[in-house]
Chain A
Amino acid sequence: MNTAIMKASIKKELWEFNGMLKWVPITLAGVFIFIPLLSLILNGINFDVLLIELKQVTQVQQTDRLSEFFFVAAIALFSPFIAIGFIVQVYYFVTCLFDERRDQSVMFWRSLPVSDEMTIASKLLTGAIVIPVIFFAAATVLMILMVVLAIIASVILSLGFDISLWGMLASANILSGVGYIWLSLLPIAVWLLPLYSWLMLASVYANKAPFLWAVLPIVALLVIEAIVVHYLHLSEPFFGHFIADYFSITPESLASVSAEQEKSRSAALKILVAQIDYRTVLVSAGLLAATYWFRVNKSES
């Protein structure tokens, strides 16, 4: 695969969705900065109480619990970015092959020496990896900003008030916590590959309303299957069970993995990896092959 063409193709995708991919994470980060600031301005702050509380905190430093606390705080910070990023990803996948057919620019793109395999691969990479990277990066920048503020606060507190937060900051293992979150990016992408592939298929197939094409066939299949299962007195719906089993992270899986893990940070990663199996490969390969076939054979004029 020609990496220069892949790079150019991904760049093209980013140009097309530039507004959304730039302003959504910036707005989200802005909200995270703006809301605490607003609350500070509106409610004011009692410095005497704060100093007493900080002194108490510095006295009960337990490295492990502190590290876990920061990891949970980091996840809390990343979660909105991951969630909104996921909505953006879904929107991207549903429109990425549809929009260029709607405005007929597909005729221009396909008149250039870029293979359909490359086009689909670049769109898949953009949606599954590049978009989450953008949102993870926005969350990380926000995190760095908070750490910088914490360092400035530590300097002021240690020089002016004789309160040392350095030990607490050092034992928080912020870097490794954020590192673990970043490590989950690839397993999430692979785990959700069947969903992404399905959305791309809806995008390349639909002549109108790709969102409906993405949702309605699944709903229809689930309803029909439920009726069949009910009337034929079958034990359980295959398709419904398949979707529920594949996409849900059950308490059992959490318990089984957590029991082996001392730290929850690597446990989350293990759970994600455990969700990936032969179904991921088979379903994704089938749906992507169908997407490729429609891309090559669907008449656009």
Chain B
Amino acid sequence: MSSLISVSGLSKSYGSKKVLSGVNLSLNAGQIVGLVGPNGAGKTTCLQAILGLTDFDGDINVLGHHPRKDRVKMLNDVAYISDVAILPKWLKVSQALSYMKDIHPNFAIEKAQEFLAKTNIAVNDKVKALSKGMVAQLHLALILAIDAKILILDEPTLGLDILTRRQFYNHLLEDFYTEEKCIIVTTHQIEEIEHILTDVAFIQEGKIVLAQSTDDIKERFNLVAVSHEHVGQADELQPLFKNSMMGLTTMLFDSQDKEALQSLGKVTVPSLADVFVGIMNKETC
């Protein structure tokens, strides 16, 4: 299967500060990839490099295009929602629709209108009159109406309430996603989108520390509620993460024999958030 996005050896520095260091990623059709990392890990810079919005060292290929040299052609098939409410306040909904129709070869205005009809947003509304959630809905309407092969979302639900966040991801799956497309999304609320992700890439200090399918991750990692008498024995298996609370110790193990773990306590499948916390705290454990 040929990759829709292929990133190899991606590095980026701001002055002496290294933001990305040797990032390798490959995204295929049908994947919904979560790019997850703490603040300042380099998620946004990575996405901006993929979009050609910033210069970089290394190689990036998006649908056969170089993001910097071939940005406009590439953007015919790539859609993007950023982490800030970036629709200008002076813009009217009707103007946004008209502009998109005029400049985007893959924009279907009917689809956007259909989507907006399900919301409280009127065609004559100005962005400044809309709430933050409505602006996100409008942005989503504009982006979902693009027949893009790749959708890049950078903290798209930041600052939105839980209902709007859920709606946002539901629409994403219902109105955009198909097996031919791929979505790459960064978020801090990984537990909310865990069920829709096919793959995750954890990024820490500009480096990808884990990139795997969610199914493989659930096979690879185990969360064990270790009883008090087995803690010493469990420590020898070098858990990624250990958390003691109310007399019970929970440990996260990477690639350990399941049967051996069962002898230490109750074994469960960790959530992606558990694995993320475990990987990010590896150094301190």
Contact = CB atoms under 8 A, between A and B. Distances in A.
Interface stretch (A97-105, A138-146, A271-279): A97-105
Contacts of B73: 113
Contacts of A104: 82, 84, 86
B79 A107 contact: no
Interface string B43-86: 01000100101110000000000000001110110011010101
Interface string A103-135: 111111011111100000000000000000000
A301 B88 contact: no
A12 interface: yes
A115 to B, nearest CB: 5
Nearest to A15: B95
B82 A107 contact: yes
B105 interface: yes
Interface stretch (A2-10, A69-77, A221-229): A2-10
Interface residues of A, number: 27
A235 interface: no
Nearest to A301: B44
A236 interface: no
Contacts of B258: none
Contacts of A299: 14, 54
Contacts of A115: 71-72
Contacts of B91: 15-16, 105
A11 interface: yes
A297 interface: yes
A105 B88 contact: yes
A108 B87 CA distance: 7
Contacts of A110: 53
B84 A8 contact: no
Interface string A1-27: 000110111011001101000000000
Contact of A114 (B88, B98, B103): B103
B79 A7 contact: no
A111 B88 contact: no
A36 B192 CA distance: 68
Contacts of A100: 88
Counting chain A CB atoms within 10 Å of each CB, which of B48, B55, B72 scores highest?
Answer: B72
Counting chain B CB atoms within 10 Å of each CB, which of A8, A9, A16 scores highest?
Answer: A8
A114 B86 contact: no
Contacts of B102: 4-5, 7-8, 11
A37 B80 CA distance: 56
A8 B101 CA distance: 9
A14 to B, nearest CB: 10
Nearest to A299: B54
B86 A107 contact: yes
B104 interface: yes
B103 A16 contact: no
20 contacts: A4-B103, A8-B102, A11-B99, A11-B102, A16-B88, A16-B90, A18-B90, A103-B88, A107-B53, A107-B82, A108-B139, A111-B53, A111-B75, A112-B75, A112-B103, A113-B73, A115-B72, A299-B54, A300-B53, A301-B48
Interface of A: 4-5, 7-9, 11-12, 15-16, 18, 100, 103-108, 110-115, 297, 299-301
Given A5-B103, A107-B84, A113-B103, 8 more contacts: A8-B99, A8-B102, A18-B90, A104-B86, A105-B87, A105-B91, A107-B82, A113-B72
What are the 9 closest A-B residue pairs judged by CB atoms, nearest first? A8-B102, A105-B88, A111-B80, A113-B75, A108-B86, A107-B82, A107-B86, A115-B72, A104-B86
